[in-house]
Amino acid sequence: MPTFAVTTVTNFNTRENYGRIARWLHWGTAMLFLLSYCAVYYRHWFTEKQTPENLVALQLHLSAGISIAVIVILRIIWRNMNVQPELEPGPRWQQLLAHSAHYALYAVMILMPLTGYIGTGVATEFFYLFQIPKFEDTWLFQTVVAGYLGMTFKQFEAPIDFFHKDIMGAWLVWILIVGHAAAAMYHHYVYKDRTLVKMTTGKQ
């Protein structure tokens, strides 16, 4: 087992570690994705349509999705304001793969909430604190989708829903998340480098 020395972790990133804020944003995103998936699977597996439990699970799913969208925006802003920890030494192809996977995760974190919102036919009761209008009721839908494209919400929703649920939700997100976690574990237990600890304990 490698021996690590404890280092001071600040709010800001350094060349050695992610700071507290980046870590909170990272793990907050992970917890919200977990909540989102738990809510949607609970809804489909354990509830009947239009029952109170079904609708509450749907609203938890939608609320988590909106929260992810907000956090991703904050993550992008924070990332551009901070230095990024240097990648661990390794082959060039491995570093390119790590960068590509990172950008793919960001793309998914943007597209999942976006397609979830625009493809949902109900308003979001954001954790039952306030209401966010459904996309069908927005100026953008009425002007661009219905007015300019001449599409009904049902016509618009079908391909968006398929992309959100059957492509990204059922396959792509899982592949990227499992791949991301597996790569972190491989670096930690096989390479014994600091890839994982940069986002956890910050030990040297």
For 125, the token pair is 């009761």
User: Residue 179 above 60 pLDDT?
Assistant: yes
CA pair distance 143, 150, nearest whole angstrom: 9
Of residues 9 and 158, more confidently modeled: 158
Average the pLDDT over 7-31 and give the result.
92
Model confidence band, residue 116 (pLDDT cutoffs 50, 70, 90) = very high
User: Residue 81 above 60 pLDDT?
Assistant: yes
Average the pLDDT over 167-180 and give the result.
95
Please measure the distance between the N-terminal and C-terminal CA atoms of the chain and give it in whole angstroms: 13
Query: Please, what is the average pLDDT of the chain?
Result: 93
Average the pLDDT over 185-202 and give the result.
92
How many residues in the chain?
204
User: What does the H/E/C string look like for 89-124?
Assistant: CCCHHHHHHHHHHHHHHHHHHHHHHHHHHHCCCCCE
User: Residue 3 above 70 pLDDT?
Assistant: no
Over pLDDT 90: what percentage of the chain?
90
Q: What pLDDT sits at residue 168?
A: 97
Residue 197 to residues 6, 13, 192, 200, 203, Cα–Cα distance (Å): 11, 13, 10, 5, 6
Residue 61 near residue 40 (C-beta atoms within 8 A): yes
pLDDT digits 0-9 by tens, 35-54: 999 999 999 999 999 999 99
Q: Spell out the domains of the chain, with CATH numbers in brackets.
A: 20-199 (1.20.950)
Residue 16 neighbours by CB under 8 Å, 6+ apart:
7, 85, 86, 194, 198, 202, 204
Residue 193 near residue 95 (C-beta atoms within 8 A): no
User: Residue 9 above 70 pLDDT?
Assistant: yes
Model confidence band, residue 201 (pLDDT cutoffs 50, 70, 90) = confident
Average the pLDDT over 141-153 and give the result.
97
Residue 156 near residue 145 (C-beta atoms within 8 A): yes
Average the pLDDT over 138-155 and give the result.
97
User: Residue 2 above 50 pLDDT?
Assistant: no
User: Residue 125 above 80 pLDDT?
Assistant: yes
